[in-house]
Structure 1
């Protein structure tokens, strides 16, 4: 991957359909998501189609699914398939995996194999969909392995459109996605690189507090059009968190074209804009050489 030639790195995109047509969500949850996001089901690109889309824009993208088999009973898209497909398009795609923490020791073994053998570069957690609290000690062996492997862990935070409008929210509990629950993880795994995904409605201030207090906690800006960002998020992105905020779209729910058009209208300092769009992610993901693990402004 030639980072210098990239215009941006999108750290939050979803593989929603496998090569054989298997979807990442059950029909019930997919239908609710489509209603919530509108047009969500109009286009569910394959991974090769995602590669072509981002290559056309001279962007790179982190790709993952969500393994929530324990809570939902719905089989996941294979992490191996995602890793292999991304490897075939390594000029623009970066594979993350998702391993259900309820799988215990099997999850730890799988995480190690996915990084060491399959080339996975990070892990995605969706506590509300996976049905666990991030500070549950059940997940700690998996976090320990990820920390030891030296790759990031990305946690969904805030409200989710998945399950919205379904009676009982489809069994999805929003409380598990309070970013303050990830604070314990940052304390107990001090070298683990963490990404808090999305503007964390209704816990935006909690996310900002954790990210400013813990040196290796970052925030991605996916899932919302920037025109709806809370003012305090924009203020912190421009100042205390300028080295720890990351561009993410949530593609295909939100396209990077729409996100970037709205981001261009925000009052972001010229020196900060390239950090958010590419530089911070390149460093965090280890794409910029031996200094990649250094986080600027850690003492903020």
Structure 2
């Protein structure tokens, strides 16, 4: 295995007592995708060790307003030099509740939020969400959104690239990390996002849909300095996804930027990272 650093910007884990039923429920709507880990922190760390991954960003989603505080608590227990968890909130949480979550997260070195429009019942550019975005921007957090379509919500456009563009226009100082190369199964339209310096592109679940040649073409249409490697673990194998990047006919410097350098520079803004 090559001795190098890799950051996976899109993973999922659950508390040990919840992981089995969470994976079972999610697997019912995951199409051809099946989990490669048991969904626990230990399972992810074992996968990271096997793949040679330095750090994983763990995305948590509050599907109910009552889950937001529990996710905060879980995130605070797993944050480490190898795990950067994202907190979440639900649109039905009050502004005061969200503010408290952000403050407590920041005190633990966490300054990222994950939101999933379909699972949480909102549109990315819904003006009812703007007070939350203003708070996130003011407190110096970034947001990771599920973007594009979703395998469990066919035809749903709550996270469309057009809505992402509208948000980026409205909040020019808010760092927005799109998942799935800008928008899952909207790859013919993601170039409308490339002109916004506050939009970043995590790349998971793209090559598995379009193949290596088309994946390479998508990468080359996006800004190379704003691309993040991601796997959506446990739904793909981390080691296999690194091998995909290594196998692409793109410059070695771009591979290194995707696998580590871009995310390293980005996360240094939001936490202290060891020098490589």
The normalised TM-score by structure 1 is 0.78
What is the CA distance between 1:120 and its match in structure 2? Answer: 1.7
Q: Which runs of 5+ in 2 are unaligned?
A: none
Aligned residue for 2:47?
Answer: 53
Offset, 1:61: 0.2
1:10 corresponds in structure 2 to 8
Greater Cα offset, 252-261 or 233-242? 233-242
Matched, 1:123 2:113: yes
Question: Which deviates more from structure 2 when the two are superposed, residues 233-242 or residues 201-210?
Answer: 233-242
- May I ask how many residue pairs the two structures share in their alignment? 268
Correspondence for 2:38: 44
1:63 match: secondary structure: strand
Query: Aligned pair 1:205/2:188, yes or no?
Result: yes
Q: Does 1:267 align with 2:249?
A: yes
Change in Cα spacing, 1:196 to 1:148, as seen in structure 2 (3 Å) is same
RMSD of aligned Cα (Å): 3.0
One of 231, 234, 244 as aligned partner of 2:216: 234
Q: Which residue number corresponds to residue 75 of structure 2?
A: 83
Q: Would the aligned equivalents of 1:135 and 1:185 in 2 still touch at CA under 8 Å?
A: yes
Q: Deviations over 1:178-215 (max 9, x none)?
A: 121011211111111111100424322332211x1111
Q: Distance in 1 between matches of 2:206 and 2:188?
A: 16
Alignment of 1:135-174 (within 5 A): 135-162=125-152, 174=156
Give the conservation status (yes or no) of the 8 Å contact 1:125–1:156.
Answer: yes
Change (3 A) 1:213 1:287: closer
Greater relative contact order structure (CA < 8 Å, 6+ sep): 2
| Structure 1, unaligned runs of 5 or more | 164-168, 291-300
Within a 5 Å distance, the mapping from 1:283-298 to structure 2 comes to: 283-286=265-268
Give 1:238 shift.
3.4
How big is the shift at 1:58?
4.0
Aligned to 2:240: 258
Q: Does 1:247 align with 2:229?
A: yes
Q: Which residue in the other structure is 1:297 paired with?
A: none
Check whether the contact 2:11–2:58 (CA below 8 A) recurs between aligned residues: yes
Cα displacement (A) at 1:162: 3.1
Q: Is the 8 A contact 2:205 2:231 kept in 1?
A: yes
Matched residue, 1:294: none
Measure, in 2, the Cα distance between the counterparts of 1:140 and 1:154.
15
